[in-house]
Amino acid sequence: MPHPKLKLSRREALLAGAGAALAGAIGLPPAAAAVSGRLTAKPGRVQLVGPSYPETEVWCYGGRVPGPELRARQGGRLSVAFDNRLPQSSTVHWHGLRVPNAMDGVPELTQAPVAPGDGFAYEFDLPDAGTYWYHPHQGSVEQVGRGLYGPLIVEEPEPIRVDREAVWVLDDWRMTQEAAIVEDFDNFHDHTHNGRIGNTVTVNGSIPETFPVRAGERIRLRLINAANARFFALKFTGHAPRLIALDGQPCRPHALPEGRIVLGPAMRADLVLDLSGRPGERFAVVDDHYQRFAYRLLELAYEAGPPLRESPLDAPVALPANPLPAPELGTALRQRIVLGGGAMGGLASATFRGETLGLREIAREGKVWALNGIVADRIKMDPLVTLKRGRSAVIELVNETAFDHPMHLHGHSFRVLTRDGRPVPHGIWQDTVLVAPREKVEIAFVADNPGDWLFHCHILEHMAAGMMGVLRVA
């Protein structure tokens, strides 16, 4: 079924149609410089929970959950012929990638929604190496919640030395006892509180008991949080992984603060994990973000065979920096964005559809969150902030709500400068930054990517209930 808008190249013909083939064919490092393929979104059935349960009806890419792993090389180009076979309009957003505005996949803002039966040709260069992911940006609560997402890996031209790489795409699902997705996507409590937290956590679309490892090996573990709203805080008992990148962007390698990696929705982390246990041993990987509900995600299960090496690999783990322009703090334009609203937030009134209304009235429309006192009604809005192209910007995010918010900016990665005035160590760049209740976080970046970019909370229910705005770079 050739896509009308895209000429089929030889490589694409090779990849066309088969999601599994896509991953296999381009998953072999080093990835090709130019990668192209077809990505079909459609309803499907997958075995998420295990053989003693029925299959789950999902919406997914390439017939599987997660969707096919797209893997390319830094400096290369990605062309994806998107084919929408869903019962509703959709788009594909390339989360964290610095793409041209027209390729960003935000309906109304950067492209027309792709109607059922239609397609769209996405094509862009890959300036940055790192761990990214893709997902729809239309009806996100439902579309991502039903299983539409996949990993996107951009390899460094010279990757660090490891024995192998693993990608764990984390998600949670709200399911019935029959493993069917609970379809309360408009649940008002979710929208006003923590978002749609599920009752079933999957890693790469299943519930694995173990992750087999070999003593002495070094693994680069790429973690992706694809959940609508769930936070993960993973502890690798008995091990001391080092964090080498957050949201795709390298940082100075360091031990995990408090021994755990906290990932809000949409966040990614690259860890270097030295398997320092002995053959036959087992160690739990525990998620204790919601402390009363701590659970074992899986176990690292050491094979019985002899260790790969006796002492940890002695090779550097620092990744080369991506070509991100350093913001000039002295001359930067300063802006502040106040996060308001939600349950127990104390926001009395806000601007909605151009009118000042009480939050109760706005809540009748299903909206409860505001940025700078404005509740987003639709995606195409007047800009919240306008930045001059090429200028540096420092934005202070002030959380006046009672909830954590993973705030995501499209089209740029930003330095995380301070939290409550204290400098953030390790040279952290992110595209999705957690802002805790009553916390102030300063971020900085060079506004070098022209266009209207979405800035929103990545708890998808918060975004749907008004926590989004447009940042214009002109």
Question: Contact positions toward ligand C2O, by CB under 6 A?
Answer: 93, 95, 135, 137, 266, 408, 410, 454, 456, 458
Report the partner that residue 73 touches, choosing among Cu ion, ligand C2O, none (CB closer than 5 to 8 A by kind).
none
Task: Please identify, using beta-carbon distances, which residue of 82 and 283 lies nearer to ligand C2O.
Answer: 82
Q: E strand or H helix at 69, and its extent?
A: none
CB of 359 to ligand C2O, least distance (A): 24
459 near Cu ion, judged by CB under 5 A: yes
CB of 72 to Cu ion, least distance (A): 31
CB of 459 to Cu ion, least distance (A): 4
Task: Please identify, using beta-carbon distances, which residue of 93 and 367 lies nearer to ligand C2O.
Answer: 93
DSSP of 104-171 = S--BTTTB--B-TT-EEEEEEE--S-EEEEEE--SSHHHHHHTT--EEEEEE-SSPPP-SEEEEEEEE
Burial grade of 353 (CB within 10 A; 0-12, 13-18, 19 or more): exposed
CA distance 92 to 114: 9
CA distance 92 to 39: 9
Stretch that binds Cu ion, among 46-54, 256-264, 297-305, 460-468 (CB under 5 A): 460-468
Of 419-458, binders to Cu ion (CB under 5 A) are 457
Tell me which residue of 129, 215, 126, 206 sits closest to 168, measured CA to CA: 206
CA angle 461, 380, 356 (to 5 degrees): 75
CB of 454 to ligand C2O, least distance (A): 5
3-state helix, strand, coil in the chain (%, to 5): 10, 40, 50
For 352, the 3-state DSSP assignment is strand
DSSP of 239-253 = ---EEEEETTEEEEE
Task: Please identify, using beta-carbon distances, which residue of 96 and 277 lies nearer to ligand C2O.
Answer: 96
405 near Cu ion, judged by CB under 5 A: yes
Task: Please identify, using beta-carbon distances, which residue of 39 and 457 lies nearer to Cu ion.
Answer: 457
Beta-carbon count within 10 A of 366 CB: 13
CB of 363 to ligand C2O, least distance (A): 23
For 363, the 3-state DSSP assignment is helix
Report the partner that residue 48 touches, choosing among Cu ion, ligand C2O, none (CB closer than 5 to 8 A by kind).
none
Task: Please identify, using beta-carbon distances, which residue of 367 and 410 lies nearer to ligand C2O.
Answer: 410
DSSP of 84-117 = E-SSS-B--EEET----GGGS--BTTTB--B-TT
410 near Cu ion, judged by CB under 5 A: no
CA distance 430 to 408: 9
CA angle 41, 46, 50 (to 5 degrees): 155
Task: Please identify, using beta-carbon distances, which residue of 226 and 387 lies nearer to ligand C2O.
Answer: 226
Task: Please identify, using beta-carbon distances, which residue of 6 and 435 lies nearer to ligand C2O.
Answer: 435
CB of 96 to ligand C2O, least distance (A): 8
Report the partner that residue 405 touches, choosing among Cu ion, ligand C2O, none (CB closer than 5 to 8 A by kind).
Cu ion
Tokens of 185: 């996507």
CB of 146 to ligand C2O, least distance (A): 16
Task: Please identify, using beta-carbon distances, which residue of 412 and 462 lies nearer to Cu ion.
Answer: 462
359 near Cu ion, judged by CB under 5 A: no
Report the partner that residue 457 touches, choosing among Cu ion, ligand C2O, none (CB closer than 5 to 8 A by kind).
Cu ion
462 near Cu ion, judged by CB under 5 A: yes
Residues engaged in binding Cu ion (CB under 5 A)? 405, 457, 459, 462
